[in-house]
Amino acid sequence: MTTTASAATIPAVRRDPTRSHARAAGIFYLLTFASSIPALILIGPVLNDAAYVTGAGQDTRVLWGCLLDSVNALTAVGSAVAAYSVVKRQNGSMALGFVTSRLVEAAVIMIGVVSLLAVVTMRQDFAGSGADAASLTVTADALVDVRNWTFLFGPGLMPVFNALLFGTLLYKSRLVPRVIPTIGLIGAPLLFAAFIAVLFGAIHQTSTASFFLTLPIAAWELSVGIWMTFKGFRPEAVAALNLRNNA
């Protein structure tokens, strides 16, 4: 009887229904880092060797890079979808806009992936077959140029909108400490400035200036990913959102 009575006095632990959403969103954010950085390294040969399509090639390496870039695209969408059901309570339109911007980013990345896969296929099918090397090289270079433009308009531009939308939602709702979305809201115009500078040829996308202008956005995405993975959304902020939506 004593054991039963003691157990009855212990309050039930309330499970945070948003914890799984936050964890999933955070993991997806971290996976974008874990996939995009090695992908950029692995696809280096096809990007930097103008004669790749007519040479021996490093197809397996490039294919792995393309696969990781595909993972990057899918996890980008996953991060927005996972967080949507929570942040829509702050502002449904902005939450939907965040999902849409991630979808656009993923679509642009996949265009670049398909372009590089086409170069690999051309090298495998036509290299050494007597095909006109000059024509192959011109076509392959054009496909690589397509990928370079997708790199600018995908990871080089869309994170501006991601940060403005998701950062604003998190800042207003206080689902995470405000310093985290503040980094993103500061980084967004800096990344846009880098995008404009690269677009009009003032700097190169892989230059030191571009790196420093991009750094705050990278810090924002990494910090929000880590926080959501290991801390989740702040319970008091979730409760406030629930009260507001139930009022």
- Taking Cα atoms as reference points, which of 105, 116, 123 lies closest to residue 147? 116
Mean pLDDT of 83-90: 96
Confidence of residue 125 (pLDDT cuts 50, 70, 90): confident
Question: Is residue 98 pLDDT above 50, yes or no?
Answer: yes
Return the structure tokens found at 179: 């310093």
- Taking Cα atoms as reference points, which of 219, 153, 148 lies closest to residue 181? 219
Confidence of residue 246 (pLDDT cuts 50, 70, 90): confident
- Which pLDDT score is estimated for 9? 41
Confidence of residue 128 (pLDDT cuts 50, 70, 90): low
Return the structure tokens found at 12: 């039930």
Question: Is residue 175 pLDDT above 50, yes or no?
Answer: yes
- Which pLDDT score is estimated for 8? 42
**What is the C-alpha to C-alpha distance for residues 143 and 137, in angstroms, rounded to an integer?**
10
- Which pLDDT score is estimated for 43? 97
- Which pLDDT score is estimated for 97? 98
- Which pLDDT score is estimated for 37? 94
Which of 6-20, 109-123, 167-181 is the least confident region?
A: 6-20
Which of 62-66, 123-127, 149-153, 156-160 is the least confident region?
A: 123-127
Render pLDDT for 12-26 as a digit per residue (tens, 0 to 9). Answer: 335 678 999 999 999
Domain ranges of the chain: 18-240
Render pLDDT for 62-76 as a digit per residue (tens, 0 to 9). Answer: 999 999 999 999 999
Q: Transcribe 97-137 into DSSP letters.
A: HHHHHHHHHHHHHHHHHHHHHHHHHHHHHHTTTT--HHHHH
Question: Is residue 132 pLDDT above 60, yes or no?
Answer: yes
Confidence of residue 4 (pLDDT cuts 50, 70, 90): very low
Confidence of residue 244 (pLDDT cuts 50, 70, 90): confident
Question: Is residue 220 pLDDT above 60, yes or no?
Answer: yes
